Amino acid sequence: MSYALSGRHFLKLLDFTSEEIVELVDLAQGLKEKKHAGIPHRYLEGKNMVLIFEKTSTRTRCSFEVAGHDLGMGVTYLDPSGSQIGNKESIKDTARVLGRMFDGIEYRGYGQEIVETLAEYSGVPVWNGLTDEFHPTQMIADLLTIRENFGDFQGLNLVFMGDAKNNVANSLMVASAKMGINFTACGPAECMPNDELVATCRAIAAENNCEIRLTSDVEEACTGANIIYTDIWVSMGEPASLWEERIRLLSPYQVNAKVMAMAADNAIFLHCLPAFHDTDTSVAQDIEARFGLTEMEVTDEVFESAQSKVFDEAENRMHSIKAIVLATLG
């Protein structure tokens, strides 16, 4: 079984055409149907991949590991203490070593330049599990979830609420532009995506009959929206000292019942997780003690509502990552 994307890296959605992205969503949907039907799909028997995690994760790690096992692959996990990458061994040397041993390399960590260097020197497909700039595997899962709820992409309105300069918002803006979805970043001016990426996405959006909008007005952004999306206010790798400033800046952009009431009747809520919608975690308990907040970027009411598709979205991480691995190694 061979695929048009065989041998390609998966570093950012800007590297792919709209048609190629749809092919990945289609493949993910087909693999999901096989998984649910109990149909084996060990198409990559005998191949091996390594997962480099400089930033820990539940969904990304489990998605890659289950995807690999379902495809018949061997999977090796390297946590932040399990590799000398960038410490005693350069990134390009690490890439050339791992490329001799594995058929594919996943990287989840910091600067985009790291995953780009791994791709340049490894000689095998490299997959971006998350960098400070982009989170492309999340996007295939999000697009699958959106299509499951709406049937198509063209003309939908997606609003990202909060820190619109983070990796998820950047990637959503690209994905929306590629798929013909109107994208609105709603947050304070200090938290908007960089001008260069906005200009790039607006050019892509013009080709696909959609728009990229930036606003600080919640009602303007959310009225009639089909998808309301948010993320935690301090991203992984950012210092905890940012909480006070981000709470001050982003509290007006919390996704709550009032926001969802502004949206379209068929609107859904998405979040890449983890979410601070209650005080059932140690971080949330610390935030409550320091700032008196029991909910942050989304209220528990919205998170647990019928409009919330966050656990479908989380499951779709595994199916979409499986599709990316299969398409690039098959």
CATH number for 23: 3.40.50.1370
Distance (Å, whole) CA 272 – CA 240:
20
Q: Looking at the domain assignment, is residue 320 inside a domain?
A: yes
Q: Which amino acid is at 146?
A: I
Other Cβ atoms within 10 Å of 313 Cβ, number: 25
Q: Looking at the domain assignment, is residue 251 inside a domain?
A: yes
Asked if residue 209 and residue 118 are part of one domain, the reply reads: no
Place of tokens 């791992």: 98
Asked if residue 73 and residue 20 are part of one domain, the reply reads: yes
Asked if residue 98 and residue 229 are part of one domain, the reply reads: no
Q: Looking at the domain assignment, is residue 190 inside a domain?
A: yes
- What are the phi and psi torsion angles at 225 (to 5°)? -65, 145
Asked if residue 179 and residue 41 are part of one domain, the reply reads: no
Q: Looking at the domain assignment, is residue 40 inside a domain?
A: yes
Asked if residue 119 and residue 236 are part of one domain, the reply reads: no
∠ CA 267-25-23, nearest 5°, is: 140
Average pLDDT, 10 consecutive residues per value, the chain (330 residues): 90 98 98 98 98 94 98 95 78 96 97 98 98 98 98 98 98 99 98 98 98 98 98 90 96 98 98 97 96 98 98 98 98
pTM of the model: 0.97
**Parallel, antiparallel, or unpaired for β 212-215 and 227-230?**
unpaired
Asked if residue 240 and residue 157 are part of one domain, the reply reads: yes
Asked if residue 159 and residue 122 are part of one domain, the reply reads: no
* CB contact at 8 A, 284 and 276: yes
* CB contact at 8 A, 36 and 322: no
Query: What are the catalytic residues?
Result: 108, 135, 138, 231, 272, 317
Q: Looking at the domain assignment, is residue 102 inside a domain?
A: yes
Asked if residue 194 and residue 58 are part of one domain, the reply reads: no
- Give the model's pLDDT for residue 1: 59
Query: Where in the sequence is the domain holding 304, given as residue range(s)?
Result: 139-315
Q: Looking at the domain assignment, is residue 1 inside a domain?
A: no
Distance (Å, whole) CA 50 – CA 204:
33
Q: Looking at the domain assignment, is residue 284 inside a domain?
A: yes
Asked if residue 67 and residue 121 are part of one domain, the reply reads: yes
Number of folded domains that form the chain: 2
Q: Looking at the domain assignment, is residue 3 inside a domain?
A: no
Asked if residue 114 and residue 162 are part of one domain, the reply reads: no
Q: Which residues pair with 78 in a beta bridge?
A: 52
Distance (Å, whole) CA 206 – CA 324:
27
Asked if residue 250 and residue 219 are part of one domain, the reply reads: yes
Asked if residue 118 and residue 42 are part of one domain, the reply reads: yes
